[in-house]
Amino acid sequence: MELKILDNTVQAYLIVLGTILVTLIFKKLISKFLASKLFKLITNSKHNLPKQSFLDLVVQPLGTYLLLTISMIAIDKLKFPAAFDFTVYKTTTRHILDALMNGALVVVFIWLCLRVIDFMAMVLEERANVTKDQQDNQLIIFFKDFFKVILIIIGVLLILKFSFNKNIGSILTGLSLVGAAVALATRESMENLIASFIIFFDKPFTVGEQVKVNGFTGTIEKIGLRSTRIRTNEKTYISVPNKQMVDTIVDNISLRTQRKTELQLELSLSASASALSTLLTAMRHYLSGQQIDSFHVYLHDTGKHAHIVIVEYFSSATDEYEAYLILREKVNMALIGLLEAHNIELAASSTDVVVKQS
């Protein structure tokens, strides 16, 4: 046992190896125990929170952190072999190994914190799903991403501190000096970030609502730190920078109280004034008996090619789109039937009925 290999006795190697093996064997058990204690620490016992979900998220990074910590403590008891002690770019190999181990610890610790944030966001999302207001879900997703970015930045600073022995205070001071230059270089990203806060507090739209912007119509699926993701009616998935969502005109279709439909009928010039008047009266009578909020039927114009009749009606925007299509088809068929009943034809230059829906 007193035999030395690379400046350390065999007994010392066996103790270190045994310590690491014992930790590896009982790592999962110990990490579950510590995760349970952590769960009680960060949650309120009055609420029935999903403990298993928390364990599934936290046990792996916690076990890895535990194994790395104990391994570092055990290996530190060994003497660094002189044969391996050489300099690489003015840095000794011992310092390089220490930097790598410290960096690994920081990375695993940040990984653990990110998993805790995921759990808290999951719990808050479950509670927010109970309410009808989608604003809660939107805020949770946004701040989850926001705090994750902050944690990653903190992790980078910790690596600079413990792996490269840099003074964080001086680094932050230096960053403040170049902050203006960075802000100018990333002006568009900063504008999108500020716009995301404007969206959350001004609330022109929320996740789940249907909007029309830049010629695209679709449903808001996610509002991120930089862009808003929209699932279009063509089932494509587009990302619109938040700055554009703030600066351009956004039509929030979900907040419409009514859905407007406009029909332009180009009628033959052979129709007399009395026949047109009778037709318009019949159209108004028909529309008054339908489930629509309001309507307008009038002779819009006349000329050498056709008499132009405009039919406008407003239906409830809360109805399903399929119900609206059925209503529109029903009205169109009825108007065609009225034209046939009054022997009024479409103008020869008109090939169809112009229908506008907004």
CA 331 to CA 188: how far, in whole Å? 49
The per-residue pLDDT for range 131-156, each reduced to its tens digit, is 766 666 777 877 888 889 889 988 98
- The Cα-based distances of 236 to 209, 223, 325 in angstroms read 16, 17, 22
237 and 277 both lie in a single domain: no
Closest CA to 191 of 222, 148, 227, 145: 227
Indicate if the pLDDT at residue 356 is higher than 60: no
Indicate if the pLDDT at residue 84 is higher than 80: no
279 and 144 both lie in a single domain: no
- 34-40 contacts at long range (C-beta below 8 A, 24 or more positions apart): 34/62, 34/66, 35/59, 35/62, 38/62, 38/116
Percentage of residues in the chain having pLDDT higher than 70: 89
Question: Does residue 261 contact residue 328 with C-beta atoms inside 8 Å?
Answer: yes
Q: What is the CATH number of the domain that holds 273?
A: 3.30.70.100
What's CA 318's distance to the chain center, in Å?
25
Sign of the alpha-carbon dihedral angle for 318, 321, 324, 326: negative
Where does the pLDDT of residue 48 fall: very low under 50, low under 70, confident under 90, or very high at 90 and above? Answer: low
Helical packing angle, 135-162 and 93-130, nearest 10°: 170
168 and 214 both lie in a single domain: no
Q: Is residue 326 within a helix (H) or strand (E), and if so which, with residue range? A: helix 321-341
Q: Is residue 186 part of a domain?
A: no
DSSP string, 176-240: HHSHHHHHHHTHHHHHHHHHHHHHHHH-S--TT-EEEETTEEEEEEEE-SSEEEEEETTS-EEEE
Q: How many domains does the chain have?
A: 3
95 and 144 both lie in a single domain: yes
Q: Is residue 304 part of a domain?
A: yes
240 and 274 both lie in a single domain: no
161 and 217 both lie in a single domain: no
Indicate if the pLDDT at residue 256 is higher than 70: yes
The per-residue pLDDT for range 113-136, each reduced to its tens digit, is 999 899 888 888 877 777 766 666
Calculate mean pLDDT across residues 6-17. Answer: 84
**pLDDT attached to residue 38:** 84
12 and 64 both lie in a single domain: yes
Q: What is the CATH number of the domain that holds 224?
A: 2.30.30.60
Q: Is residue 55 part of a domain?
A: yes
CA 155 to CA 145: how far, in whole Å? 15
Residue 335 domain boundaries? 256-357
Which of 218, 233, 254 is a domain's end point? 254
Q: State whether residue 289 is helix, strand or coil.
A: coil
244 and 268 both lie in a single domain: no
163 and 247 both lie in a single domain: no
Calculate mean pLDDT across residues 95-111. Answer: 90
Q: Which is more confident, 45 or 312?
A: 312
Q: Is residue 298 part of a domain?
A: yes
The per-residue pLDDT for range 160-212, each reduced to its tens digit, is 888 888 777 776 666 665 665 655 556 777 788 888 888 888 889 988 888 99
Mean of per-residue pLDDT scores for the chain: 84
Q: Is residue 189 part of a domain?
A: no
Question: Does residue 76 contact residue 16 with C-beta atoms inside 8 Å?
Answer: no
131 and 166 both lie in a single domain: yes
CA 28 to CA 23: how far, in whole Å? 9
Q: Is residue 182 part of a domain?
A: no
125 and 28 both lie in a single domain: yes
221 and 288 both lie in a single domain: no
